[in-house]
Amino acid sequence: MGFEASLSSDRAIVDKEIAAFFDHMCEGQNNQFLKYNYETLEQFVLRQGKRLRPITTIKSYAAFSGNEKKIYPLSIVSELFHTSSLIHDDIMDEDSIRRGSKTMHVLYEDYFRRHFNDESYHGSIFSAHAKRFGSSIAIMQGNLLYSLAYRLLLTSDLEFGKKQEALALFNHAYARTNEGQMLDVLFSSKNKISVAEYEAMVEGKTACPLGAAIGFGAMLAGADKSQRTALQQYSYHAGIAFQIMDDIMDLSSGRKKRLAGSDVRKGSKTLVIVHALQHAASKDKKIMMKIVGNHTASSEDIQTVMRILEKTESVSYAQMRAERHVMQAKHSLLRLKANKERKEFFLQLADYILARSA
């Protein structure tokens, strides 16, 4: 079985656990609106996605323990945390599409319009009742997912010490995710960002939650400190490489379900943009600064930026940085004394990060 086929098989396992969890949450829910909320959350979490975090939890557990099935129900904790942050990200980015369908706040804008009369008004934040309702419910849905992840841990049959360690692990990761996102929002308004600043931001929003998912499985399997440190170093480099490749794919017109150059329009300081702003000629830099962050930038504007990126060889630079991080991630595994087959999974995952196209 090829690596992507293996991921697909593992994703089916995770999705089954997600469905079972939400089915349980809906049981006995008498309030129809709240039941609808849980059903909507289930559908949102189950949208087509890679499920890399819960899958890596399963694989890291299996690397040090013989029976991976024991971890299936708890593996989804990281996916609940992750999706919680996605719901909030979509509000901050004012996105209308997530994984090919409407974002949570747009879903609830539609809900409001189906059940109530919408009216425009001049509020300090919102311009219509449906928009305020949609964003408000979506924020609470994200918060609810966060609490559901903790509920899953607290109601599990883990021993008390393991629960405490798991809660501390995910609490730290969630805080770092938010810190990384805060820097991301800040950087979108700044024109001068260093590579070190970019990677510090990505460590928080991408590498740290991946490390928590992997570390969770290893911790539950009883891996010692040195082995968990090796996996933490792997997660750091793999997570940064993953985000860099995500940045690069945003520029591709072939990327599924997403408009090419959306990060450019948002003003996101991806590594590609950071490098270009550092190395572009003065005239090109001024042009970029007018386009990057312009939500109404045309396709021609995006192509102009692409030509500047080509002149500065910024995509090639970002690709090189991603390859270097993947190499360092693989090197971290040399000290990993684990099941050979499961260790191979993490080596293949590192290669997959570079090769993926969606």
Tokens of 247: 């940045």
Residue 85 in this model has a pLDDT that exceeds 90: yes
Sequence spans of domains, the chain = 3-355
**For the segment 105-147, what is each residue's pLDDT rounded down to a tens digit?**
999 999 999 999 999 999 999 999 999 999 999 999 999 999 9
**For the segment 224-274, what is each residue's pLDDT rounded down to a tens digit?**
999 999 999 999 999 999 999 999 998 875 444 455 688 899 899 999 999
- CATH of region 3-355, choose from 3.30.470.10, 1.10.600.10, 3.40.50.300, 2.60.40.1120: 1.10.600.10
**For the segment 325-349, what is each residue's pLDDT rounded down to a tens digit?**
999 999 999 988 877 777 899 999 9
Whole-number mean pLDDT of the chain?
93
pLDDT of residue 316: 96
Kind and range of the H or E element at 102?
strand 101-102
Beta bridge partners of 120: 128
Determine if the pTM surpasses 0.85: yes
pLDDT of residue 253: 52
Residue 50 in this model has a pLDDT that exceeds 60: yes
pLDDT of residue 357: 62
Banded pLDDT at 358 (limits 50, 70, 90):
low
DSSP string, 223-282: --HHHHHHHHHHHHHHHHHHHHHHHHHHT-TT-TTS-TTHHHHHT---HHHHHHHHHS-H
Mean pLDDT throughout 150-162?
A: 96
**For the segment 289-311, what is each residue's pLDDT rounded down to a tens digit?**
999 999 899 989 999 999 999 99
Distance CA 153, CA 161 (A): 12
